[in-house]
Amino acid sequence: MSGELFELELYGEGMERRYRRQRPEVEAMPWGSMNPKDYPEAALLRARKQWTGAAFQEHRTGIACASALRSLLECRAPLDLIAMASRFPLDEIVHVELCARMAMELGGGTEITHDPDEMIVDAPEELRPLMRAADKVVRYFCVGEALSIPLLRGTWKAAKHPLPRAVLGRIVKDEAAHGVFGFAFLDWAIDDFSAEERAHLGRAADRTIRAIQRQWRGIEKGRSADYDEKMGDALGWMQSDAYLELAKKSMEQRVRAPLREFDIPISA
C-alpha cells in the first residue's frame, strides 16, 4: 500500500511542559501497570492493532474538529459555540497520545500507511459558509461523535484492567461534550436552512451512516472463533455481538432520531 507511515512524536522541552500543564491527566494514567507477558501473543497483537488504529482514528477526528472549527468561525457562529468547539482539537490530540501509549504498553504500535491528503471528507466549496459548517457538523458531530459516546462507554465498562479503564474513562469524559455539540449547533442554525439545504444535510448524514455500517460488516466478518471476551475486556478492546447490538441501537437513538427531530430527512 502506498502512502506515508503513521508516526507520532513530541517536540519536548518547554513545549511539552506547556502541553502537560494543559492536560496533566495524560501523565496521571497508571502507565507501566500492564505486563504483556500475562496475555497470549495473538491477543496482544490484536490489541496492539486496535490501539494503533484507535490512535489513527483519533488523529483523523482531530483534523475533522479543526476543519469544523474553521468553518464555525467563517460563518460567524455564536461565540460560545465556537469557544466550546475550540477545545475539541486538543481533546483529540490527547486521545491520540493515550491510544498510542496504550499500544506501546502492549509491545508497540503496528504499521499504518495513509494518504495525508485524504484524511477527511471536506464540505463542498460551493456551499455558503453556514452550510459548509453545517455539512461538517452533521457528519463529524451529529453522526460520528454522537455515536461514539455509547460505544466508548460500553467499552470502558467492559475494561477490567485499571490502565485501559482509566484511558477509556478519560476519552469518554471528553467525548460527552463532543457528542451533544452538533445538536446544539443545529438548534441555533436550523431555522436558516431551506428544504433543499436540509435535504443536503440528510444526504451527508446518510453517507456517513453507510460508511460506519460498512465498518460494522467488517467487524462481523472479522470475528474469529478463538475470540476470548474476557481477554478482550482485560486489554481494553471489545469486539462482540453485544458491541454490534449496542452500535445499531445507538445509531437509531443517538443519531437518526435526533436528526429527524430537526426535520433533516435521512433514509429509513
Q: What is the pLDDT of residues 134-165, one digit of tens each?
A: 999 999 999 999 999 999 999 998 888 999 99
Of the pLDDT bands very low, low, confident and very high (cuts 50, 70, 90), residue 241 is confident
Q: Indicate whether 213 pLDDT > 90.
A: yes
Residue range 192-198: mean pLDDT, rounded = 98
- Nearest-CA neighbor of 179 among 255, 72, 242, 267? 255
Torsion of CA 240, 243, 249, 250, to 10 degrees: -160
Report pTM.
0.94
Q: Which residues contact 49 (CB under 8 A, 6 or more apart)?
A: 110
Of the pLDDT bands very low, low, confident and very high (cuts 50, 70, 90), residue 234 is low
Q: What is the pLDDT of residues 60-78, one digit of tens each?
A: 999 999 999 999 999 999 9
